[in-house]
Amino acid sequence: MPSSDIIQLLPDSIANQIAAGEVVQRPASVVKELMENAIDAKATQVQVILREAGRTLIQVIDNGTGMSETDARMSFERHATSKIRQSEDLFRIRTMGFRGEALASIAAVAQVELRTRREENEIGTLIRIDGSDIKTQEPVACPKGTNFSIRNLFFNVPARRNFLKSNSVEMRHVLDEFQRVALANPEVGFTLHHNDTEVFNLLPVKLVKRIIDIYGKSYREQLAFCQEDTSYIKVRGYIGKPEFARKTRGEQFFFVNDRFIKHNYMHHAVISAFDGTIPEGSHPFYVLFIDIDPSHIDINIHPTKTEIKFDDERSVYAIIMAAVKKAVGVYNLSQSIDFEENINFLNPTPNETNNNLIPRTVMPDWAAQPRKSEGGASKSNLTNWSKLFEGLQNTEDRHRELAAFEMNTPAVSRPVYQEQAKTVASKVNRMASEVVAAPEADALLFQLHNRYILSQVKDGIMLIDQKAAYERILYERYRKMLINRNGACQQLLFPKTIRLTHSDMQLVHETKKEIRSLGFEFDEFGLNELIIRGIPADLPEESEQDLFEELIEQLKQSYSDLKLNKPESLSRSLAKRFSVRYAVKLSHMEIHTLMNQLFSSSDPNRTPGGEPIIVLLTMDKLANIFRN
| Same domain (yes/no): 426, 470 | no
Going through 458-565 in order, the beta strands assigned E by DSSP cover 460-465, 489-499, 521-524, 529-536
Q: Which of 152, 177, 202 is the last residue of a domain?
A: 202
Q: Give dist(CA 368, CA 384) in Å, integer.
A: 10
- CATH code of the domain containing 555: 3.30.1370.100
Q: What is the residue-averaged pLDDT of the chain?
A: 77
Same domain as 183, residue 50: yes
Question: 31 and 172: one domain?
Answer: yes
Q: Assess whether pLDDT exceeds 70 at residue 307.
A: yes
Q: Let me know if residue 594 belongs to a domain.
A: yes
| Together in a domain, 39 and 172 | yes
Strand 446-448, strand 297-298: pairing:
unpaired
Same domain, 490 and 573: yes
Q: What is the pLDDT of residue 416?
A: 31
> Which residue type occupies 498?
I
Percent of the chain with pLDDT over 70: 71
Intra-chain end-to-end CA distance of the chain, in Å = 80
How many domains does the chain fold into?
4
The 8-class DSSP code of residue 370 comes to: P
Residue 521 belongs to domain spanning: 465-599
Identify the top-confidence range among 173-187, 370-384, 407-421, 476-490: 173-187
pLDDT at residue number 143: 96
Same structural domain for residues 118 and 134?
A: yes
Do the Cβ atoms of 142 and 124 come closer than 8 Å? Answer: yes
Handedness of CA 50, 252, 267, 291 (dihedral sign): positive
Q: What is the mean pLDDT of residues 117-145?
A: 95
Q: Classify residue 557: in a domain, yes or no.
A: yes
In a domain, 300, yes or no: yes
Specify if 620 maps to a domain.
no
Q: Which amino acid is at 611?
A: E
pTM, two decimal places: 0.64
DSSP reduced 3-state for 363: coil
Separation of CA 517 from chain center:
23
Looking at the fold, whether 112 and 155 belong to one and the same domain comes out as yes
105 with 168, same domain? yes
pLDDT tens digits, 462-513 = 899 999 999 999 989 888 888 887 778 888 888 888 888 888 888 888 888 8
Residue 514 belongs to some domain of the structure: yes
- Domain containing 179 — which CATH number? 3.30.565.10
d(CA 42, CA 219): 29
Average pLDDT over residues 160-164: 88
Asked whether residue 457 is assigned to any structural domain, the reply reads no
Q: Where are the alpha helices (DSSP H) in 55-98?
A: 69-74
Alpha-carbon span 47 to 182, nearest angstrom:
11
Q: Supply the pLDDT for residue 280.
A: 76
**Do residue 198 and residue 228 come from a single domain?**
no
Residue 455 covered by a domain: no
